[in-house]
């Protein structure tokens, strides 16, 4: 039995990846991640110099909402509200950061970038490659990104330019919403190696005592275990719409969540909030529980069950309304789209 998985041509010891964020913002964090036998580490996103203001965060920048440790012990019920933007150092610091990670870490390192015009994306991506990263993730879906940037006019050109310029794999990180499958297909057409689904969404909260917005007074990124349900759906849809692999992210706090993502077609799962809320040791627990599940189910590798749950999805018109049962002769929604483990 093995947790090892191959992804983007890289041999990973685990399908669990550290998602871009504060747990991958400096070499000390990266060392802690590596101790957990993680599959790969996606570094905190660096922004082009045009977005220099995104390097300076208001403090405090996080607030934990809806959290009741009394009920849940290791909390599985929370909302993480945050206004942390890009990597806090300069671009030069970031290239050094990648080099330092590559000097010390044995797991693959994925650089993460954000820019606007295609030339800037390409320039940053090339520097990520030159600094030794094993792959690059394009964070085109940050909840803090300027609203003026449009997928069709800005990001398609950016993905295209980066893919053409690089020899390392390119992941495209997309946000949830009605356009996500269209965007997955566009990323695939541009030659992206994988998509990461789905980034956090932009949310908002107010305090009824002060009658003011909480924290820094503006919209914030929100996520939590509840977010997995819409990402499960997007991953399931994407697995039936594109051939390139999917790295799932959003609300995974347990082995159960990781298994669900795999059953719905994901190749890897990126986690962050569970580490911030419950600590690095969450990863050891997830790994142990994954191994126990695989043993109980007689599974040698998670690749054996990738996309399995999709095969029993049923078309809505074939569901008997009063019982929820499939009609006789019901047609499966499932249609294999590829040869990398979904069929």
Among 134, 139, 160, 257, binds ligand FMN (CB under 6 A): 139
**Both tokens of residue 110?**
């994925």
- Which residues are within 8 A (CB) of 288 and not within 5 positions of it... i.e. 6 or more apart? 255
3-state helix, strand, coil in the chain (%, to 5): 40, 20, 40
Helix (H, G, I), strand (E, B) or coil at 6: strand
Between 139 and 188, name the residue whose CB sits nearer to ligand FMN. Answer: 139
Count the residues of the shown chain that bind ligand FMN, applying the rule CB under 6 A. 27
Between 5 and 82, name the residue whose CB sits nearer to ligand FMN. Answer: 82
Give me the 15-44 binding string for ligand FMN, x by CB under 6 A, dash otherwise. ----xxxx---------------------x
With binding defined as CB under 6 A, does residue 254 bind ligand FMN?
Answer: no
Give me the 95-134 binding string for ligand FMN, x by CB under 6 A, dash otherwise. -----------------x----------------------
Give me the 148-187 binding string for ligand FMN, x by CB under 6 A, dash otherwise. -------------------------x--------------
DSSP state, residue 309: G
Give me the 301-340 binding string for ligand FMN, x by CB under 6 A, dash otherwise. ----------------------------------------
With binding defined as CB under 6 A, does residue 249 bind ligand FMN?
Answer: yes
Distance between CA atoms of 266 and 309, rounded to whole angstroms? 11
**Helices assigned H by DSSP within 107-239:** 118-130, 156-165, 180-189, 228-239
Helix (H, G, I), strand (E, B) or coil at 195: strand
Q: How would you classify the pairing of strands 79-82 and 16-18? A: unpaired
**Cβ of residue 105: shortest distance to ligand FMN, in angstroms?**
18
DSSP state, residue 152: I
The alpha carbon of 318 is separated from its chain's Cα centroid by a whole number of angstroms, namely 33
Q: How are strands ordered across the β-sheet holding 62-65?
A: 62-65, 79-82, 220-223, 201-203
Q: How would you classify the pairing of strands 212-213 and 46-47? A: unpaired
Between 169 and 251, name the residue whose CB sits nearer to ligand FMN. Answer: 251
Stretch that binds ligand FMN, among 13-21, 65-73, 180-188, 207-215 (CB under 6 A): 13-21
Residues at the contact surface with ligand FMN, assessed by CB under 6 A:
19-22, 44-45, 80, 82, 84, 112, 139, 142, 173, 199-200, 221, 223, 227, 249-252, 270-274
């Amino acid at each position: 039995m093995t947790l090892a998985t191959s992804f983007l041509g890289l041999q990973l010891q685990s399908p669990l990846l550290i998602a871009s964020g504060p747990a991958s913002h400096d070499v000390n964090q990266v060392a802690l991640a590596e101790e957990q036998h993680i599959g790969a580490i996606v570094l905190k996103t660096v922004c082009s110099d045009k977005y220099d203001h995104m390097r300076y965060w208001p403090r405090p920048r996080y607030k934990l909402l809806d959290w009741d440790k009394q009920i849940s012990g290791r909390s599985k019920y929370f909302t993480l509200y945050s206004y942390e933007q890009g990597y806090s150092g300069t671009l030069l610091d970031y290239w050094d950061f990648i080099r330092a990670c590559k000097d010390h870490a044995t797991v693959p390192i994925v650089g993460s970038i954000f820019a606007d015009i295609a030339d800037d994306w390409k320039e940053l991506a090339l520097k990520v490659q030159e600094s030794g990263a094993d792959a690059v993730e394009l964070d085109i879906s940050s909840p803090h990104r300027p609203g003026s940037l449009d997928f069709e006019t800005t990001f398609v050109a950016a993905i295209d330019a980066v893919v053409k310029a690089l020899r390392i794999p390119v992941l495209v990180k997309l946000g949830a919403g009605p356009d996500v499958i269209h965007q997955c297909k566009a990323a695939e057409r541009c030659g992206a190696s994988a998509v990461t689904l789905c980034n956090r969404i932009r949310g908002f909260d107010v305090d009824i005592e002060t009658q003011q917005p909480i924290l820094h007074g503006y919209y914030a990124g929100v996520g939590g275990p509840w977010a997995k349900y819409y990402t499960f759906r997007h991953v399931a849809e994407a697995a039936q719409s594109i051939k390139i692999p999917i790295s799932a992210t959003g609300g995974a706090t347990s082995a159960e969540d990781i298994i669900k993502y795999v059953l719905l077609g994901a190749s890897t799962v990126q986690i962050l909030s569970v580490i911030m809320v419950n600590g690095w040791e969450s990863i050891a627990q997830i790994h142990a529980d994954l191994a126990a599940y695989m043993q109980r189910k007689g599974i040698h590798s998670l690749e054996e069950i990738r996309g399995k749950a999709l095969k029993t999805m049923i078309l809505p018109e074939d569901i008997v309304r009063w019982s929820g049962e499939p009609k006789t002769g019901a047609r499966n929604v499932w249609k294999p789209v590829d040869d990398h483990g979904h069929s």
